[in-house]
Structure 1
Amino acid sequence: MAVVTLVTTAAPPSLRGELTRWFLEVAPGVYVGQVSQRVREQLWLLIQDHIGPGRAILSYSNNSEQGFGFEVIGHDRLPIEREGLTLIWQPSLVKQSGASPGDPSDSQSWGVGSRRRSYRGNYGRR
């Protein structure tokens, strides 16, 4: 049994009602619960079929290096795997530079913290 957190945006009322059978809705569109892997996978298929133009993020605990996994539908941020870790790729930032997903040479796609670390690494700490 894994702890699951699900966040939905613009989900149809019928889907929200179905999700409350399995999870506790702690805030509008935010669900938490503890379900088996099989139930989680079946619920994710249900969400994919019924979310329509809405969005959903499902995170769950597992035995990976990060200690969790997640699934995404309808978001502009996409999960990519890089050296055994799942990272979030932001296509809107990469469009400006023309890099491909997961390209480590593109500091734009990794956020402000990465650029700061890169700057310190190149010029030393001051």
Structure 2
Amino acid sequence: MTRLVMIATTAVPDHVRGALSRWMLEPVAGVYVGTMSARVRDELWSAVSASVGEGAAVCVHPDDNEQGFTVHTAGERRRTVVDFDGLQLIQMSALEQVEQGMPPIPEGW
């Protein structure tokens, strides 16, 4: 069964953008959407995540879980996906917060 897949990229090599544009539409620069089988999605994501270089990419696709979707990331990102009792949540890197002059998050928040 085919399902909608979204991949967003930042500063990836041109050949990665070319590979994505063969399978998906690019409605906005760096954002790709398309419908494909899980096998094609997994193969495409493997190729993208292995080739991001200094850039970053995120893939969101429907899944049979509580949230209804799964998030995959590749490359160095300010935000990381963490599992919290089966839910995927986004965690900001404490190092990035310090670099931006933001106060650290208090323990227990």
TM-score, with structure 1 as normaliser: 0.73
CA distance in 2, matches of 1:98, 1:55: 29
CA distance in 2, matches of 1:57, 1:51: 11
- Write out the 4+ residue segments of structure 1 that deviate beyond 4 Å after TM superposition: none
CA distance in 1, matches of 2:16, 2:85: 35
- SS across alignment from 2:48: helix
Q: Higher helix proportion, which one?
A: 1
CA distance in 2, matches of 1:32, 1:23: 5
Q: Amino acid of the residue matched to residue 62 of structure 1?
A: D
Spell out, residue by residue over 1:39-66, the C-alpha distance to the aligned partner (whole angstroms, 9 max, x if none). Answer: 1111111012211001101100111110
2:92 aligned residue: 90
Structure 2, unpaired ranges of 5+: none
Name the larger-Rg structure.
1
Q: How many residues align?
A: 101
1:7 aligned onto 2:8: yes
1:77 aligned onto 2:75: no
CA distance in 2, matches of 1:8, 1:25: 11
CA distance in 1, matches of 2:29, 2:17: 9
CA distance in 2, matches of 1:9, 1:18: 15
Q: Amino acid of the residue matched to residue 86 of structure 2?
A: G
TM-score, with structure 2 as normaliser: 0.83
Q: Higher strand proportion, which one?
A: 2
RMSD value, Cα: 1.9
Structure 1, unpaired ranges of 5+: 100-104, 108-126
Higher relative contact order (CA closer than 8 Å, sequence separation 6+) = 2
Q: Amino acid of the residue matched to residue 31 of structure 2?
A: V
